């Protein structure tokens, strides 16, 4: 196809995406989207096609978390609606991801016929995506298409949440009217409210005997991590992360005290945070995961909390309207507050020690797995965790570098890790990616190793095999938690790419990781652990959720 003399809807769309920092687009072709794929192929963006639409969404999400802006391209309804869960994950956890869907033409819509893939109305898919996007549009008019593309993409980047653009298959080829560009006006804080909040926050910090900062995920999404660390250093206040924000700050920083997640945390970290008389919560998601899986038992006194997020500002029971998070943090950093003096701080997870000869033959457990993995995670490593012990067990895994840990630690959808690892590898090809996934979650999206093989990617994927849905067993057990046992190590043979190991002891795992790193291949390591084994944190989570979900456990407790 000869490039057009003037921009088309398709060429403008991908040029604008490129100008905003994306270098890759993840997708699966379908007939409504094929003309859009043709324009993508002619653009400067690289295409990565996967095997299933949920994986497309997770890959674009993983890319967005690692790179700052991810893009998914699928066909109408059978593709878009199939990807809905992974887009919902990105929305829930504030990941800047753009969904592009092919669609029927304006003529199809006017005729209102029963076109294939149509659900109820031609607008059904867009209306469904309204629930999981911050902005959406259908480009039915080339005259307004440029302005609509700019509006949606800019909203995605500003709000760090998914957006949706539906492109009718014939509109994509039409000449586009050049946009009238108007400079965006950044949000401005109300000066009086900002000054009042700074005055109140500074007074509370100055008075506090045991202040602590919780640095959460919004800091990463909005590029405020360095400012938060500088603030902690300036005031000499210890800093904790959450499961969702794990590794956004260096876990070897002298003020870092660990990952806080209520009773899922290490006891010292939990006690320090919950006994604080000034908890400065920066960009924090106050979820049930943050509170140890129980929203009905808040562990932080509201009167001791300064909550500063992109959506609300609160100190104790007082709120401050029209104050932005960047303005608050910048001004607080300029206020003269005397450095705090504190005693010994909780120690984050210890840096693991090498295995001794006598330990090599010991059978693997979840705790031993993470200890051994920690010996091999270096400066240029990225860790991608699925839900369950793949995530909760990783609380004790010390990362060497900021922002190299990806997980869906609030939405908690199984199947995240393997496709998100593909997104991370595209975003940071210089890093070695370790994906950790349970056997149940691997059976959902693990086949995306086919995609990794196709594009020459070389992750190390650990399948934690505890013979079923281990997380659910600790909540409420039954035969519904059983799955078919796969011969996981045959997958690389099926693909004709990479190498597999099945390990049951410390020494076998250590050897497999060393070989995988030395040989630099796509590696699948099946880690066999006892059926009832789990990390202490997951056991505590299971006990808490079991009390909520299982009436028999509640009855025994009440008795």
**Torsions phi, psi of 256, nearest 5?**
-75, 130
Question: Which tokens in the block code for residue 213?
Answer: 């900062």
pLDDT value for 2: 43
Ramachandran category for residue 100: left, alpha or beta (phi over 0 → left; psi -120 to 50 → alpha) = beta
**Homologous superfamily (CATH) for 357-534:** Thiamin diphosphate (ThDP)-binding fold, Pyr/PP domains (3.40.50.970)
How far is residue 553's CA from residue 547's CA, in Å, rounded to a whole number? 6
With bands split at pLDDT 50, 70 and 90, how would you rate the model's confidence at 559?
Answer: low
User: How would you label 45-76 residue by residue, b for 16+ Cβ within 10 Å and e otherwise?
Assistant: beebebbbbbbbbbbbbbbbbbbbbbbbbbbb
Mean pLDDT of 402-413: 90
pLDDT value for 298: 76
428, 70 Cβ separation under 8 angstroms: no
Mean pLDDT of 377-386: 91
Residue 169 reports pLDDT greater than 70 = yes
Residue 57 reports pLDDT greater than 90 = yes
Beta-carbon count within 10 A of 556 CB: 10
Sequence-distant (6+) residues with CB within 8 A of 518 are: none
pLDDT value for 13: 98
CATH annotation of 191-334: 3.40.50.1220
Domain segments of the chain: what residues? 9-173, 191-334, 357-534
Pairing of strands 460-465, 499-503: unpaired
With bands split at pLDDT 50, 70 and 90, how would you rate the model's confidence at 242?
Answer: very high
Mean pLDDT of 416-442: 97
Mean pLDDT of 17-21: 97
Residue 314 reports pLDDT greater than 90 = yes
Residue 226 reports pLDDT greater than 90 = yes
Q: Cα torsion at 513, 515, 516, 521 (round to 10°)?
A: 180
Residues 52, 53, 54, 59, CA torsion sign: positive
Packed helices 191-207 and 325-334: angle between N→C axes, nearest 10 degrees? 50
pLDDT value for 557: 66
460, 409 Cβ separation under 8 angstroms: no
Q: Of all residues in the chain, what percent carry a pLDDT higher than 70?
A: 98
Q: Do domains 9-173 and 357-534 have the same CATH topology?
A: yes
Mean pLDDT of 185-210: 95
Residue 356 reports pLDDT greater than 80 = yes
Closest among 438, 447, 382 to 413, alpha carbons compared: 438
With bands split at pLDDT 50, 70 and 90, how would you rate the model's confidence at 182?
Answer: confident
**Burial of 438 (C-beta count, 10 Å sphere; 0-12/13-18/19+):** buried
pLDDT digits (tens, 9 = 90+) for 95-131: 999 999 999 999 989 888 899 999 999 999 999 999 9
Beta-carbon count within 10 A of 17 CB: 23
Mean pLDDT of 404-415: 94
CATH annotation of 9-173: 3.40.50.970
466, 438 Cβ separation under 8 angstroms: yes
Measuring CA to CA, how many Å separate 7 from each of 1, 13, 164?
A: 14, 9, 21
With bands split at pLDDT 50, 70 and 90, how would you rate the model's confidence at 1?
Answer: very low
DSSP letter string over 497-544?
-SEEEEE-BHHHHHHHHHHHHHHT--EEEEEE--TT---HHHHHHHHH
Residue 82 reports pLDDT greater than 50 = yes
How far is residue 15's CA from residue 369's CA, in Å, rounded to a whole number? 45
Mean pLDDT of 285-311: 87
Q: Average pLDDT over the chain, rounded to whole? A: 93
Residue 190 reports pLDDT greater than 70 = yes
């Amino acid at each position: 196809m000869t490039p057009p003399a003037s921009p088309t809807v398709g060429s403008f769309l991908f040029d604008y995406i490129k100008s905003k920092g994306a270098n890759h687009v993840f997708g699966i072709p379908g007939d409504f989207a094929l003309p859009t794929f043709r324009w993508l192929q002619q653009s400067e963006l690289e295409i990565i096609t996967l095997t299933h639409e949920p994986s497309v969404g997770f890959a674009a999400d993983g890319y967005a978390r690692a790179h700052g802006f991810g893009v998914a391209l699928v066909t109408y309804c059978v593709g878009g609606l199939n990807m809905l869960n992974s887009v919902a994950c990105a929305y829930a956890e504030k990941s800047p991801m753009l969904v592009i869907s092919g669609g029927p033409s304006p003529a199809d819509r006017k005729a209102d016929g029963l076109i294939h893939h149509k659900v109820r109305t031609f607008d059904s898919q867009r209306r469904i995506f309204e629930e999981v996007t911050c902005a959406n549009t259908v480009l039915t008019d080339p005259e307004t298409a440029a302005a609509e593309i700019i509006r949606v993409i800019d909203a995605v980047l500003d709000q760090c949440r998914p957006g949706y653009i539906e492109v009718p298959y014939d509109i994509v080829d039409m000449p586009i009217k050049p946009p009238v560009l108007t400079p965006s006006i950044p949000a401005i804080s109300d000066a009086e409210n900002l000054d009042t909040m700074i005055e109140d926050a500074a007074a509370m910090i100055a008075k506090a005997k045991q202040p602590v900062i919780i640095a959460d995920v919004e800091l990463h999404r909005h590029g405020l991590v360095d400012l938060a660390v500088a603030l902690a250093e300036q005031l000499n206040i210890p800093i904790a992360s959450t499961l969702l924000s794990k590794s956004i700050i260096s876990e070897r920083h002298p003020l870092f005290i660990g990952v806080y997640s209520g009773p899922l945390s290490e006891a010292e970290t939990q006690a320090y945070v919950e006994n604080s008389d000034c908890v400065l919560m920066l960009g924090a998601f106050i979820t049930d995961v943050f509170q140890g899986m129980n929203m009905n038992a808040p562990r932080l006194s509201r009167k001791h909390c300064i909550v500063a997020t992109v959506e609300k500002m609160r100190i104790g029971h007082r709120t401050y309207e029209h104050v932005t998070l960047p303005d608050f943090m910048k001004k607080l950093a300029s206020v003269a507050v005397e450095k705090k003096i504190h005693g010994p701080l909780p120690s984050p997870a210890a840096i693991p020690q090498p295995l001794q000869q006598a330990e090599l033959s010991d059978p693997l457990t979840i705790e031993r797995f993470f200890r051994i993995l920690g010996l091999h995670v270096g400066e240029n490593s990225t860790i991608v965790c699925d839900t369950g012990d793949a995530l909760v067990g990783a609380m004790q895994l010390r990362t060497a570098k900021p922002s190299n840990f990806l997980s869906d630690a609030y939405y908690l959808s199984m199947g995240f890790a393997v496709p998100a690892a593909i997104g991370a590898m595209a975003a940071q090809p210089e890093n070695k990616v370790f994906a950790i996934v349970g056997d149940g979650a691997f059976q959902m999206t693990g086949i995306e190793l086919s995609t990794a093989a196709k594009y020459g990617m070389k992750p190390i994927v650990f399948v934690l095999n505890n013979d079923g849905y281990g997380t659910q067993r600790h909540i409420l057990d039954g035969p519904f938690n059983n799955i078919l046992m796969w011969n996981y190590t045959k997958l690389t043979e099926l693909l004709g790419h990479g190498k597999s190991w099945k390990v049951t002891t410390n020494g076998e795992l250590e050897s497999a990781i060393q070989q995988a790193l030395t040989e630099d291949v796509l590696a699948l390591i099946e880690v066999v652990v006892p059926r009832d084994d789990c990390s202490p944190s997951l056991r505590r989570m299971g006990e808490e959720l079991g009390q909520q979900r299982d009436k028999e456990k509640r009855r025994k407790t009440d008795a």
